[in-house]
Amino acid sequence: TGAPFLRDLDDVRRNPTLDDLAMFHKLCHMLPALHSSAHHIVEPYDHPISQRHLRITYSSMKYCDKTFMGMTTSPKNADDVMEMCAILFGAEFMEDHPVTTGNCNGNSPLVWDETMLGAMRAFCRRNQPVLCSPFVLGGANTPASVPATVAQLNAEALSALAYTQVIRRGCPAIYGHYLSTVSMKSGAPMAGTPEISLMNFMIGQMARHYGVPWRSSNTLGGAKTFDAQAGYESATTLSAVIHAGANYIWHSAGWNEAGMHCSTAKFVVDAEQCAMAYRMAEGPKWHDFDEAVAAVSDIGPGGHYLGHPHTQDNFQEAFFMPELFDNNSIEQWVAEGEVEITERALNHARKLLAEYQEPRLDPATDEALRDYIARREREIPAADELNQHC
């Protein structure tokens, strides 16, 4: 989320638009492994920044029927999100149901600023969950030590969790963080390092100690393209957060170049990796154990199970079969055009978009949302007007 660039359906790195944001929301709608559409997956540069949160929220609501995140870029922007949620879901419904989440980042070390706290208050007043997320750049805004970094992060996250209960006792909140370590060669944030995995394991234990759900980040990559580096970094972090028992896993698709761009190809492959991780987290399936063991006696020494009734009944669910990874022989791969993963992924994304059907909003609700956006855009000066006033 929040990428200032994207790599598009032609794998070209460029500035995003509202249409590009809608494309990612549509892809999220079509990918079962993604449970939430976030909010500004990419920054839509073709709309004034002062009004952008309205269009981002509308895109989240219009193009995907999954839960989404609300903008917390200012207290007033958060209020706008809450008002739009009240239009869509009903203010009374929101009192008893989480319909969106808000991410509030602490300014490490040891600062929660008024912008984030104001947005936090807007969400808590409506009983909507917030992620209390210190922003860790290990070695830069935390000590150059894994245990000391976790100690600082823990204090920052707990202070925010406590503050949510001051705002409204009993309102939902999530122990959060964003984790990266900093290269001492360049100062650039790094992804997929062993220290990030260790921090996730430690934070998971702390969250369970306090009895609170916790948020982590997922398939982060520092590579400039969807290459082997991106895959290794993403797989390392994905494995760590699943084994650490994270409850709310953000940044799960497309993140690359340390968050500077969202890759369309990586987006759909990451989603499939999330599906595989989810399957692993479910653990072994025991419902058919007796039938499966009985097949051993049926087949006997030296046989094969391909035609056995148990295999025929269960092969589609017994083992995960990736759609985007090629497991055929090299001869078949060559015969089919030697298509590598990036091209396969982009072709798959095009197919998903061609098959997309919009989960249409109720016409009266849609009109009310559009009217609210139009009114607020009249009230909020566009960026160029703000610059003239400054």
State the average pLDDT for the chain: 95
Q: Indicate if 243 and 309 belong to the same structural domain.
A: no
- pLDDT above 70 for 88: yes
* Side-chain half-sphere CA neighbours of 67 within 13 A: 14
- Residue 180 forms beta bridges with which residues? 137
- pLDDT above 50 for 89: yes
pTM of the model: 0.94
Q: Indicate if 198 and 313 belong to the same structural domain.
A: no
- pLDDT above 60 for 322: yes
Per-residue pLDDT averaged across 332-350, rounded? 97
Q: Are 122 and 133 in contact (CB under 8 A)?
A: no
Q: What is the pLDDT of residues 171-212, one digit of tens each?
A: 999 999 999 999 888 888 899 999 999 999 999 999 999 999
Per-residue pLDDT averaged across 242-260, rounded? 96
284 CB neighbour count, 10 Å cutoff: 5
Give the end of a domain, one of 228, 248, 282.
Answer: 282
Q: Indicate if 12 and 155 belong to the same structural domain.
A: yes
Q: Indicate if 245 and 312 belong to the same structural domain.
A: no
CATH number at residue 276: 3.20.20.480
Per-residue pLDDT averaged across 272-276, rounded? 97
* pLDDT of 188: 86
The whole domain housing 349 covers 289-355
Helix intervals (H) in the chain: 18-30, 52-63, 75-89, 91-96, 114-125, 146-167, 194-210, 228-244, 264-282, 289-299, 309-318, 330-335, 341-355, 363-379, 383-389
- The verdict on residue 320 lying in a domain is yes
Q: Using alpha carbons, select from 274, 271, 276, 269 the residue that is nearest to residue 344.
A: 269
Q: Indicate if 278 and 295 belong to the same structural domain.
A: no
Q: Indicate if 213 and 104 belong to the same structural domain.
A: yes
Residue 389's pLDDT band (cuts 50, 70, 90): very low
- The verdict on residue 371 lying in a domain is no
Rounded CA-CA distance 268/38 in Å is: 15
Q: What is the pLDDT of residues 90-148, one digit of tens each?
A: 999 999 999 999 999 999 999 999 999 999 999 999 999 999 999 999 999 999 999 99
For CA atoms 208, 209, 213, 217, the dihedral sign is negative
Q: Indicate if 219 and 86 belong to the same structural domain.
A: yes
b (16+ CB within 10 A) / e for 91-101? eeebeeeebbb
* pLDDT of 314: 93
Give the end of a domain, one of 282, 302, 335.
Answer: 282
CA distances from 312 to 288, 305, 355 (A): 13, 9, 30
- For the chain, how many structural domains are there in total? 2
Quote the tokens at residue 13: 């790195």
Q: Indicate if 87 and 18 belong to the same structural domain.
A: yes
Q: Indicate if 75 and 205 belong to the same structural domain.
A: yes
* pLDDT of 248: 96
Mapping DSSP to helix (H, G, I), strand (E, B) and coil, where does residue 151 land?
Answer: helix
